[in-house]
Structure 1
Amino acid sequence: MRISLMQVSDNPVLAGAVNGKIAFAEMIKSIPDEVVGPQPLFLDFGGIAVATASYLRESVFTLKAYLRAKSSSYYPAVANANSDVWDELSVIAHAKNDVIVTCELTDEGITSNVELVGNLDPKQRLTFELVLKFDEVDANSLMEQFGESEKTKSTTAWNNRLASLASRGIIREYTKGRSKYYRPLLTERAYGN
């Protein structure tokens, strides 16, 4: 699913906390209620010249927190942000100690230049890299393969790491039977730091 910020705001300059809150409300209205499998929700910044940190905090990051708090099937990713918008996203991500996935997105829905904006601690970074490497993981498989090298004695540590990354919205969580599995939000392998 894709939400165009240009259509939400009708202005190439996105500024101010109040306008960000209005955009958040408009984005919520456009997200369908039907249950779908875990998938990216592309927030398309194509055509946007400027987005201030206060706008992004009240729209993008509030939307991400809202969707993760309600365990939505949608995981926000910022698409087609220019370098100025990207810099403002980075300011908010670091200030909030948060992280968000960014990419370029074609009209056909093809992603490229997938990156994380923000920081992960070393254990989260390792776990994130393992999710990218294997494309689909669960805590048991990570414990079996990396428990000894990571000095973990049970699957609880891996469960916590994976759940934390999913709650931050950078990997997708889904169930198969009684087990939880995790996949990358976007499938391109070249994630930056």
Structure 2
Amino acid sequence: MQISDSVVLAGTVNGKIAFAEMIKSIPEAATVPQPLFIDFGGIDVATASYLRESVFALKSYLRTKSSSYYPVVANANANVWDELSVIANAKNDVIVTCELSDDDATTNVELVGKLDPKQRMTFELVLKFDEVDANSLMEEFGESEKTKSTTAWNNRLASLASRGIIREFTKGRSKYYRPLLMERVHGN
């Protein structure tokens, strides 16, 4: 989705208006979890207050609804990226960014914000194995991580999915997780 026709996006009120417009333009419910690209191509400046009330509000809204869509900021320039970082750090949150081509290919995938060491390690395992569940992580890494049950792994995976940086799928009663975007993600 294109964020705006303006090259400067500023202010809390404008961010709230953009949030409402984004909600209206989200396609009907997706059948499988997938990224929802918010395209900042052509945007010169987006203030932290604008991003907080639009992009981060959208991410929170979609995760609260357990939506199949996971917002990804696409084509943000360095100025916008810096403002995203300000909000991510202030909110102790993270968001996925990338470059998106006209044919929907993603490159330069990065996380904006910080993960604690356990979340970072779990996130890296999801990227490494492409598809994981709590049981497989417990079997493979439980001893080295000194975890005695799948609960810790369930909690870590669910937390990453609720933060919108990995996708959650269901097979019967089981949940499994996959990277949001398939290209290797770089931390900030």
| TM-score, normalised with respect to structure 2 | 0.98
Aligned to 1:69: 64
Counterpart mapping for 1:73-92 below 5 A: 73-92=68-87
- The 1:167–1:190 alpha-carbon spacing in structure 2 relative to 1, beyond 3 Å, is closer
1:102–1:115: 8 Å Cα contact kept in structure 2?
yes
| TM-score, normalised with respect to structure 1 | 0.96
1:79–1:105: 8 Å Cα contact kept in structure 2?
yes
2:2–2:39: 8 Å Cα contact kept in structure 1?
yes
Aligned length in residues: 188
Cα offset, 1:177, TM superposition: 1.6
CA RMSD of the aligned region, Å? Answer: 0.8
Q: 1:41 is matched with which residue: 33, 36, 42?
A: 36
Q: 2:24 is matched with which residue: 29, 33, 39?
A: 29
Q: 1:105 is matched with which residue: 97, 100, 107?
A: 100
Counterpart mapping for 1:1-193 below 5 A: 3-6=1-4, 10-193=5-188
Alpha-carbon separation, structure 2, partners of 1:34 and 1:188: 25
Alpha-carbon separation, structure 1, partners of 2:81 and 2:30: 31
Identity across the alignment (%): 82
1:114–1:192: 8 Å Cα contact kept in structure 2?
no
Query: Which structure 1 residue ranges, 4+ long, deviate > 4 Å from structure 2?
Result: none
1:116 alignment partner, SS class? strand
* Gap regions ≥5 residues in structure 1: none
